[in-house]
Copies of this chain bind each other. A is one copy, B any other.
Amino acid sequence: MSGYLPVLDWGRRYDRRRLISDGVAAVIVTVMLIPQSLAYAMLAGLPPVVGLYASILPLVAYAIFGSSRTLAVGPVAVVSLLTATAAGAVAAPGSSEYISAAVVLALLSGLILLAMGIFRLGFVANLLSHPVISGFITASGLLIAASQVKHILGVKAGGHTLIELGQSLLPALSTTSLPTLMVGVAATVFLFWSRSKLKPTLERFGLPPGVSTLLSRTGPVLAVAVSILAVIGLDLEARGVAVVGNVPRGLPPLALPPLDLALWSTLLPAAFLISVIGFAESISIAQTLAAKRRQSIRPDQEMIGLGMSNLASAFSGGYPVTGGFARSVVNFDAGAETPAAGAYTAIGIALASLFLTPLIFHLPLAVLAATIIVAVLSLVDLGTLRRTWRYSRFDFASMAGTIVVTLAAGVEAGIITGVALSLLLHLWRSSRPHIAVIGQVPGTRHYRNILRHDVVCAAEVLSVRIDESLWFGNARAVENEIQRVVSERPDLKHLVLNCAAVNGIDASAFESLELVIHRLADQGIDLHLSEVKGPVMDRLAKSSFAEHLTGHVFLSHHEAMEALAPECTKRADRMTRQTSDAPKPSSRPGSIAR
Contacts and interface: CB of A to CB of B under 8 A. Distances in A.
A477 B124 CA distance: 12
B508 A130 contact: yes
Interface in A469-514: 469, 471-477, 500-504, 506-508, 510-511
* Interface hub of A391, A427, A473, A588 (most chain B Cβ within 10 A): A391
A573 to B, nearest CB: 11
A581 B554 CA distance: 11
Q: How extensive is the interface on chain A, given as a class? A: 35 or more
A136 B51 CA distance: 52
A127 B511 CA distance: 15
State how many copies of this chain the complex holds. 2
Contacts of A503: 430, 433-434, 467-468, 501
B594 A533 contact: yes
Contact of A552 (B395, B474, B541, B587): B587
Contacts of A594: 532-534, 537-538, 555
* Interface hub of A430, A502, A549 (most chain B Cβ within 10 A): A430
Given A446-B556, A543-B390, A507 B431 contact: no
A432 B122 CA distance: 13
Contacts of A510: 391
B449 A126 contact: no
B467 A535 contact: yes
A584 to B, nearest CB: 8
Contacts of A272: none
A129 interface: yes
Contacts of A434: 503, 533, 535
Given A127-B473, A501-B503, A532-B589, 12 more contacts: A126-B474, A126-B476, A129-B506, A291-B515, A294-B522, A390-B542, A434-B503, A445-B446, A529-B589, A552-B583, A552-B588, A555-B581
Interface of A: 123, 126-132, 291, 294, 299, 387-388, 390-392, 394-395, 422-423, 426-427, 429-434, 436, 441, 444-446, 448-449, 452, 467-469, 471-477, 500-504, 506-508, 510-511, 515, 519, 522, 529, 532-535, 537-543, 545-546, 549, 552-556, 558-559, 563, 581-583, 585-590, 592, 594
28 contacts: A129-B472, A129-B506, A129-B507, A131-B508, A390-B542, A391-B543, A392-B507, A394-B506, A423-B423, A426-B473, A427-B427, A434-B533, A445-B445, A445-B446, A449-B533, A452-B534, A467-B533, A469-B469, A500-B501, A538-B594, A541-B590, A549-B588, A552-B587, A552-B588, A553-B588, A554-B583, A554-B585, A555-B582
